[in-house]
Amino acid sequence: MSQIRPTTVHIDLDRLVHNLGLVRAMQPEGTKILCAVKANAYGHGLVECGLTLEKAGADWFGVALLEEGKLLRAAGVQTPILCLSGIGGKLKAAEQALDHQLTPMVFDMDSARALNQAARAQGQLVKIHLKVDTGMGRLGVTLDHWDAFIQGITGLDSLEVQGLATHFASAEEDPAFTQQQARRFRDAKRILQSHGIEPSVVHASNSAGATLYEDLAFSMVRPGLALYGHAPAPQVKGLRPVMQVSTEVLFVKEIPANYGVSYGLRWVSERPTRLATLPVGYADGYSRALSNKAEVSIHGHRCPVRGTVCMDLCLVDVTDLPRAVRPGDRVELMGDQIPAEELAAHAGTIVYEILTGLSGRVPRRH
Ligand SMILES: Cc1ncc(COP(=O)(O)O)c(C=O)c1O
C-alpha cells in the first residue's frame, strides 16, 4: 500500500506499555496478565503490539485463531499463547497447536480427543485450558455437564490441564450477575479438584473484570480493550488511547446556500458554505453510519461531517474555522480530540467495533 496516502493510523506503543502497567497495578500482587491481541491486536497491529507487550512483561497472549498465534510465533514471540476460540475439534488444528506451542482452550470432547491423539503421536503432553460456561452462554461447558466432561478429560492421558477459564457476560454493568458467575466458577474449580486436577492458571476477567473487581483476579486476568486505552466503565481512569487516525484535506471548495451534497443529497447547505473533502470513507472503516453525525478536528477545531460518507471520501464543514483550511492540512478523525467512544456512539456501536473495523488499506505507523 502506498505510503503517499495521508490517511494513517498512528499507534503509540508507549501508551500501550503505560496501559499494561496501569492494569497490572490494579491487580493483587503476583496476578498474571494475558494480553488479548486477537483481531490484529484490536486493529493496532498484532506483531508490533505483541513484541512490545512481551518486552513490557506480558505473561500470556490471547488470540482467537491459531493463525494469529502462528504469526506471533513467526515474529519470534516466546510468551505462552492461549487460543481462546479453541481448535474446532480438528486433528490438523491440534497438530498445528502443538507444532507452534499454542495452548488451546478446550470445551468439547472432539477437540480434547484430537489434541490427545496429536500429542500422543508426538510422544509428548499437550497443555490445555478448560473452559466452563458460567453464564455467558457462548463457549464453555455448562455446569450441568461439567463433571461428565472432566471425567472424559481424565481418560485422555496425553493432556495436561494447565488452566481453567470462564468469561464474564456483563462485568461492566451487572455486579450481581458477575459475582454469581464467579461463584459458579469456584464450584467448577472444586469439581475439577475433586478429580485430582489442580490448574495452575485460573482466569475469568476481561478488562471490565480486571479493572472493576480486584477480588475476581484469580491467578490471571485477560484484558484487551483497557490495554488499548479505552475504559470499560466510566469510573476507570488513567488509560491512554493508543490509536489515532488522521488524514489530510484533499480538496476545499465553496458552495452556495441551498446546495445538496454527497449521495442522496442528505445534507443541504443553509448558507454559503466552505467544505473540505477528506480522502477517507467507509472502505477504510470510517463508517457510513457516521454520515451527518461525526465531527473531525482541524487546526484544533471541531468540524461536522456533512452528507453521506462515501466509500473513499467524505465531506466536512470548515466554514466557521478562524483560519482558512487548505489541501494538505492535517485532520484528526479519531484520537485525543475525537474519542473513539464518541464515534461509536454516533455509529450506534461499541468502541471494539470502531477499532477493529479500520481496514487493512489504512497503513499503521508504530
Ligand atoms: C475470552 C476472552 N477473554 C478476554 C477478552 C478481552 O476482553 P476485553 O477486550 O473486554 O478486555 C475477550 C474479548 O472479547 C475474550 O473473548
Residue 1 has what pLDDT? 45
- Please state, in angstroms and rounded to a whole number, the distance separating the CA atoms of residues 312 and 226: 30
Q: Rounded to the nearest 10 degrees, how much is the dihedral formed by the CA atoms of 72, 73, 76, 81?
A: 70
Count the neighbouring beta carbons within 10 Å of the beta carbon of residue 155: 12
Give the DSSP H/E element, type plus range, for residue 122. Answer: none
pTM: 0.96
- 131 in catalytic set: no
Taking 90 as the threshold, does the pLDDT of residue 112 lie above it? yes
Using one digit for the tens of pLDDT, what is the confidence trace for 180-214? Answer: 999 999 999 999 999 999 999 999 999 999 999 99
Sign of CA dihedral 220, 224, 230, 235: negative
Distances (CA, A) of 140 to 111, 281, 360: 12, 38, 32
Taking 60 as the threshold, does the pLDDT of residue 58 lie above it? yes
Name the pLDDT band for 66 (thresholds 50, 70, 90): very high
Computed over every residue of the chain, the mean pLDDT equals: 97
Give the DSSP H/E element, type plus range, for residue 87. Answer: none
Atom of ligand 1 nearest to the CA of 34: 4
Residue 272 has what pLDDT? 98
Using one digit for the tens of pLDDT, what is the confidence trace for 257-272? Answer: 999 999 999 999 999 9
Long-range contacts (CB closer than 8 Å, 24 or more residues apart) made by 63-67: 63/37, 63/38, 63/102, 64/38, 64/39, 65/38, 66/93, 66/96, 66/97, 66/100, 66/102
- Please give all residues whose beta carbon lies within 6 A of any atom in ligand 1, as ranges: 36, 62, 84, 167, 206-207, 222-226
Distance 202 CA to ligand 1 centre (A): 15
Distances (CA, A) of 162 to 87, 130, 131, 183, 197: 17, 8, 11, 21, 9
Mean local confidence (pLDDT), 116-126: 97
Give the amino acid at 291: S
Taking 80 as the threshold, does the pLDDT of residue 291 lie above it? yes
Reduce the DSSP state of residue 346 to 3 states and report it. Answer: helix
- Residue in 16, 20, 222, 227 to alter for ligand 1 test, most ligand atoms within 8 A of Cβ: 222
Task: Show Cβ contacts of residue 233 under 8 Å, excluding neighbours closer than 6 positions.
Answer: 172, 173, 208, 211, 212
Catalytic residue among 38, 127, 131, 189: 38
Residue 2 has what pLDDT? 47
Give the DSSP H/E element, type plus range, for residue 103. Answer: strand 102-106
- 263 in catalytic set: yes
Residue 3 has what pLDDT? 62
Atom of ligand 1 nearest to the CA of 165: 1
Residue 255 has what pLDDT? 98
Task: Show Cβ contacts of residue 155 under 8 Å, excluding neighbours closer than 6 positions.
Answer: none
- Residue in 206, 352, 353 to alter for ligand 1 test, most ligand atoms within 8 A of Cβ: 206
Distance 11 CA to ligand 1 centre (A): 20
Taking 60 as the threshold, does the pLDDT of residue 352 lie above it? yes
Task: Show Cβ contacts of residue 249 under 8 Å, excluding neighbours closer than 6 positions.
Answer: 276, 277, 278, 298, 325, 326, 327, 328, 329, 331
Alpha carbon nearest to ligand 1 atom 16, residue: 84
Using one digit for the tens of pLDDT, what is the confidence trace for 19-33? Answer: 999 999 999 999 999
Using one digit for the tens of pLDDT, what is the confidence trace for 155-175? Answer: 999 999 999 999 999 999 999
- Domains in the chain, ordered, with CATH? 13-228 (3.20.20.10), 243-365 (2.40.37.10)
Distance 296 CA to ligand 1 centre (A): 29
Residue 137 has what pLDDT? 97
Residue 5 has what pLDDT? 84
